[in-house]
Amino acid sequence: MAIPPKQVGTFIPAEISFLAENSLLTIIPRQAMESIELIGGTIPSMRPMRRIEVPIWVAVLLKKQSRCNIVPPNWLSEENLKITYDAEAANMTRFSANLPWEWVEVGELILGSAPDDLSSPPHVIRNLLRDIREVRQAKARAGLKNLNDSYLQLDNVGAMELNEIRSFVTMAMNQLRIMQGTREGAERQDVDVEPDDQDDDDDDDDLPRESYDDSMLTAKSYQDSSDTARNNSRQGSEFAGTEDERASINSHTFGGVPHISTQNKSRSALPQAPSYTDDDDDGENEDNDMEMDETYLNAVNSN
Partner 1 sequence: MTDERDLEIDDLINNLDKEYYSAHRTANSANLTTHKSRDLKSLVRLWISERTCPDILPYAHDLLDTMLDRVREQVEVIEVNTTSGDAGGGAKLKLLFVETEIERVKFLVRGYLRARILKIDKYYTHILNNLDMQTRLSQSELRYTKRRGNQLKRYYDLRFLSALPPSLQRLDDTAGGLQMVDAPDLDEVVFVRVLRDVPGEVDLGNDDKIELRTGNIYVLPYKVIRRYVDNGDVQLV
What is the phi/psi pair of residue 88, to 5°? Answer: -65, -45
- C-alpha distance from residue 208 to each of 51, 116, 272, 275, 276 (Å): 61, 55, 22, 21, 19
Q: Are 176 and 148 in contact (CB under 8 A)?
A: yes
Which positions from 2 through 61 interact with partner 1, judged by CB under 8 A? 2-3, 7-8, 11, 15, 18-19, 22, 33-45, 57-58, 61
Quote the radius of gyration of the chain (alpha carbons, Å): 24
Task: Pick the closer one to partner 1 by CB: 19 or 111.
Answer: 19
Which residues inside 107-126 make contact with partner 1, applying CB under 8 A? none
* Per-residue binding letters, 126-165, with partner 1 (x by CB under 8 A): ------------------------xxxxxxxx-x--x---
Among 119, 231, 235, 262, binds partner 1 (CB under 8 A): 262
Residue 90 has what DSSP assignment? H
- C-alpha span between 196 and 207 (Å, rounded): 10
Smallest CA-to-CA distance from 67 within 86, 47, 96 is with 47
Q: Is 290 in the site for partner 1 (CB under 8 A)?
A: no
Residues 6 or more apart whose CB falls under 8 angstroms from that of 208 comprise 243, 246
- Give the length of the chain: 303
Residue 83 contacts partner 1 per CB under 8 A:
no
The residue within the footprint of partner 1, chosen from 111, 124, 173, 273 (CB under 8 A), is: 173
Interface residue with partner 1, options 91, 119, 127, 170 (CB under 8 A) = 170
Positions touching partner 1 (CB under 8 A) are 1-3, 7-8, 11, 15, 18-19, 22, 33-45, 57-58, 61, 65, 67, 97, 101, 150-157, 159, 162, 166, 169-170, 173-174, 177, 181, 256, 262
